[in-house]
Chains A and B, each alone.
Chain A
Amino acid sequence: MSSFALALGQLFDGLSLASILLLAALGLSLSFGLMRVINMAHGEFLMAGGFLMYVAHQWVPGAGVALGLPLAFAGSALLGALLERVLIRRLYGRPLDTLLATWGVSLVLQQLARDQFGSTGVEVTAPPWLADSFAIESGPLAGLAFAHVRIFIIGLAGIVLCGMVLLFNRTRAGLYIRAVNQHRGMASALGVDTRRVDLLVFALGSGIAGLAGGALALIAPVTSTVGQSYVVDAFLVVILGGMGTLRGTAIAALLIGVASAVAETFTSISFAKVILLLFVVAFLQFRPRGLVATRSRALEDA
C-alpha cells in the first residue's frame, strides 16, 4: 500500500471519529451556550442510545438500524428532557454545580446499565449492507478500504449538522433558540417561553448524543462506560470550538478527530491523547474562548 493511500485511510478514520465526536459534542455545546449547564451525564445519553440500539435489535431482528436509530434518538431525548425538568432546572446560574450534580446522575445511570446489561457490555451485529466495506483493489490507491458503517456514520453526522443549521436558521423554534442565546432577558420580555426553549434544546442535544451512541453500537460493543470514554474528548471539542456555537463545534470536532487519527499513526494512542490536550491548551493561550467566540459586550459572562 502506498503511503499516500495510507494517509488517505487515516484521514478517513479521523473523519469518522470526528463525526462521532461532533454528534457527542453538539448537545454539550448547545446546552452550555444556552443555559450555562455542563452536563457530565451527557456521555450516558450516548450510552443509552447504544443500549436502545441493542434493544431494538433484540425486538425486531431484521429491522435494526431503521428502528434502532429513531429509538435511540427518542429514548435519549426523553431521558434528557426528564433530567432537565427534574434536576437541571434547579441549578440554573450555577454552572460548576450542574457539573457536579450531573456527574452524580452519570454514576447512577452507569450502575443502572451495569445491572441491566452486565459489565461486559452487549454487541449489536450490523446489518449486512453495513458490514461490508468498499475496497479499492487496483490503481495507486490499492489496498484502501472504506467500511460502509463508517461512511454511514459520516453521512449521519453530516445530515444532523445540516438539520441543525436548517433548524437554527430557517424555523421559528430556531429563531427563539438564537434569541435566548443572545439575550435571555430580552427574549423573555418579548414573549419567548425561555423555559420551553431550554427544555427543547436540552432534549435535542441529548437525542443527538443518543444517535451517536446508536451509531457507535454498530462499530464496537456497548458497555456501561462507553459514555465516559467519549465525554472527556467531547468536552475538549466544545472548549476548543467555543461554547455554544454550531460552527465552532463542527470545526473543532473535525480538527480533533483528524488530528488524533494522524497522531496515532506516529505514536501510541495514549501519547496522542496527551499531545492533543497540549495542543488544545496551547491553542487556548491564543484564543481563550475557543475558535468561534460568541461576541458579547457584557463584561461578566460565564
Chain B
Amino acid sequence: MKRWLVPGLPFVALALAPLYLGSYHLTLAGRFLSLGILAMGIVMVWGQGGVLPLGQGVFFGLGGYALAMHMKLVSLPAGELPDFMQWNGVEALPLWWKPFTSAGLALAAVILVPAVAALVLAWLVFRRRMTSVYIALITQALALAFSTLLISQQGTTGGFNGLTNFDTLFGASLGDDRTRVWLHLATVALAALAYGFARLLGATQAGRLVTAVRDGENRVRFLGYSPAPYKILVFVVAGVFAGLAGALHTLHLGLISPAMVGVVPSIEMVVWVAVGGRASLYGALVGALLVNLAKDSISSAWPDAWLYIMGLVFILVVVATPRGLAGVVETVAARLGRARKPASGAEPVAAEVTSHG
C-alpha cells in the first residue's frame, strides 16, 4: 500500500491546485503535466528500453491535431469550412477531415492514430534488429518529414500557423473557469493513470524483458525470447502517451502547430527526461515540469538566454549526472540511509543504470 501511497500524494496535491493557483499558473500546470505524460512514455522506451526515440513529437502532433480538427469543425456554423481552408481556396472538406465531425471518432482517433502510427514504425524498425542509433536517427528524420509535410499542406492542415481559434469542447467553453478546473482535474487523473499503468507494465514479465533487452539483447535472445514484440509494445504505449499528451496540451494551450512537433521540440522532449532522470517515471514528470517552468520564466525575461541555458544544462546533465535529478536524489537518499544506520549489514544499493547504445 505504501508503495502506491507515496507516489500518489503529489498527484492529490496537484489535483487540489485550483484551490491555491491562479488561472495563469493553473493553465501552466495543466500544460506541463500533459507534457509529463509524454515524458513518462520516453522513460519506458529510452530509460527502461534503451532505445532513444527522437520523434515523439510526431505522435504528440497526431493526438493534438486529431482533437484540434474536431474542435475546429465544431466551432463552425453548419456547412462552412475552417478559415484557413477558405483562404487557400479549398472548396470542400477533405475526406480525411470528415470523421472528425463526430466527437466520439475524434476521441478515438486521439488514441488510435498515434497507436497505429507507432505500431507501424516500431514494427518496421524493431523487426530487423536495427541498432538503437539507427532508430534514433530514423525517428528524427520522421519528425522532420512530419513537420515539413504539415507546413507544406497549408490548405488542409493550417500550415505553419497550425490549428487555433477554437473554444468549445463537447459544448463547454474552454475559456470558462469551471471548464478549466475540470480540464485540470482530467489532466491530473490521466497523468496519474498513465503513471500507474507504466509502473504496472514495468513490473510485468513484458516490462522486465524490455529492461533485460536494454542490458543485453543477445542474452535475452539466447534465452529463447524474441525481443521485438516487447519493444514494439512499449513503443506503442509511449506513442499513445504522446498522443494523449498532445490532445491535452492542445486543450490547455488552444493551439497546435508544426513548431511543436518537429525535430527540435522532439529533442526537447528527451531533454526533460534526461534532466529528470531517464529511468525514473517520477523523474520524467518532474523534469517535464521543471524544464518547462524554467523555459517559461527565462524565455519571457531573456529570450536570447534560453537556448544558451538549455544547451549548457543539457551538456552538464549528460556528462555529470546521466541519471538526472532522480539519480541525484537516489544517491543522496542512499548516503543518508547509510549514515543513519551504520550498523546495518544490508546497504541500500541505488539501482545502477548503465547507459549505452
Partner-B contacts on A (CB < 8 A): 32, 36, 38, 87, 90-91, 93-97, 99-101, 103-108, 110-111, 114-115, 228, 232, 235-236, 238-239, 243, 268-271, 273-274, 277, 280-281, 284-285, 288, 299-300, 302
Contact partners of A270 in chain B: CB under 8 A: 145, 148-149, 151-153
**Known pairs A87-B319, A281-B124; A111 contacts B136 (CB<8 A):** no
Which residue of the partner chain, among B124, B141, B318, contacts A232 with CB atoms under 8 Å? B141
Whether B5 sits at the interface, judged by CB under 8 Å, is: no
Across the interface, A111 reaches (CB within 8 A) one of B52, B307, B315, namely B307
Contact of B218 among A108, A269, A299 (CB under 8 A): A299
Q: Which B residues are CB-close (under 8 A) to A107? A: 307-308, 310-311, 314
CB distance from B316 to the nearest CB of A (A): 8
- B88 beta carbon closer than 8 Å to chain A: no
Contact B318 A235 (CB under 8 A): no
Task: Output the least CB separation between A237 and chain B (Å).
Answer: 11
Residues of A within 8 A of B77 (CB): none
Nearest chain A residue, comparing its CB with the CB of B315: A104
Name B311's contact: one of A104, A232, A274, A300 (CB within 8 Å): A104
Any A CB within 8 A of the CB of B267: yes
CA distance A32 to B133 in the complex (A): 10
Taking CB atoms, residues of chain B closer than 8 Å to A302 are: 131, 133, 357
Q: How far is the CB of A291 from the nearest CB of chain B, in Å?
A: 13
Question: What 9 pairs across the A-B complex have the smallest Cβ distances?
Answer: A104-B314, A107-B311, A270-B152, A108-B311, A95-B357, A104-B315, A111-B307, A104-B311, A101-B318
The CA-CA distance from A232 to B54 in the complex, in Å, is 12
Query: A90 touching B145 by the CB < 8 A rule?
Result: no
Complex Cα–Cα for A17 and B201 (A) = 47
Contact B133 A95 (CB under 8 A): yes
Contact residues in A for B318 (Cβ distance below 8 Å): 91, 97, 100-101, 104
Contact present for B314 and A38 (CB under 8 Å):
no
Sample 27 A-B pairs with CB under 8 A, ordered by A number: A36-B357, A91-B318, A95-B132, A95-B133, A96-B132, A96-B355, A97-B322, A100-B270, A100-B274, A100-B318, A101-B314, A103-B267, A104-B312, A104-B314, A111-B304, A111-B307, A232-B263, A239-B134, A243-B133, A270-B151, A274-B145, A274-B148, A277-B138, A277-B145, A284-B138, A285-B124, A300-B218
Q: Which residues of B contact A103 (CB under 8 A)?
A: 267, 314
Contact A285 B137 (CB under 8 A): no
B231 to chain A, nearest CB (A): 14
Q: Mark B323-355, 1 if CB is under 8 A from A, else 0.
A: 000000000000000000000000000000001
Interface residues in B131-165 by Cβ distance below 8 A to A read 131-134, 136-138, 140-142, 144-145, 148-149, 151-153
Q: Do residues B52 and A96 form an inter-chain contact, with CB atoms below 8 A?
A: yes
For B137, list chain A residues within 8 Å (CB). 38, 235-236, 238-239
A270-B343 Cα distance, complex, nearest whole Å: 66
In the bound assembly, the distance between CA atoms of A91 and B355 in angstroms comes to 10
| Interface flag for B130 (CB, 8 Å) | yes
**Interchain CB contact under 8 A, A93 and B124:** no
Which residues on B sit within 8 Å (CB–CB) of A299?
Answer: 218
Query: Across the interface, do A280 and B311 meet the contact criterion of CB distance under 8 Å?
Result: no
A281–B122 Cα gap in the complex (Å)? 11
Measured between beta carbons, the chain B residues less than 8 angstroms from A228 are: 263-264
Taken together as a complex, chains A and B put the C-alpha atoms of A121 and B286 apart, in Å, by: 37
Shortest Cβ distance from B50 into A: residue: A96
B129 is an interface residue with CB less than 8 A from chain A: yes
Contact A280 B128 (CB under 8 A): no
Contact residues of B between 115 and 130, Cβ < 8 Å to A: 124-125, 127-130
Q: Which residues of B contact A105 (CB under 8 A)?
A: 311, 315
Which residue of chain B has its CB nearest to the CB of A115? B304
Among A91, A104, A274, the one with the most B-chain Cβ atoms within 10 Å of its Cβ is: A104
Which residues on the B side are within 8 Å of A243 (C-beta)?
Answer: 133
Which residues of chain A have C-beta atoms less than 8 A from B312's C-beta?
A: 104, 108
Cα(A105)–Cα(B316), bound, Å: 11
Report if B356 contacts A (CB, 8 A). Answer: yes
Q: Please state if B355 and A97 are interface contacts (CB–CB under 8 Å).
A: yes
Contact B145 A104 (CB under 8 A): no
Beta-carbon nearest neighbor of B319 in chain A: A90
A110 touches B307 (CB 8 A): yes
Judge whether A268 and B152 touch: CB under 8 Å: yes
Given the complex of chains A and B, what is the CA–CA distance between A114 and B264 in angstroms? Answer: 17
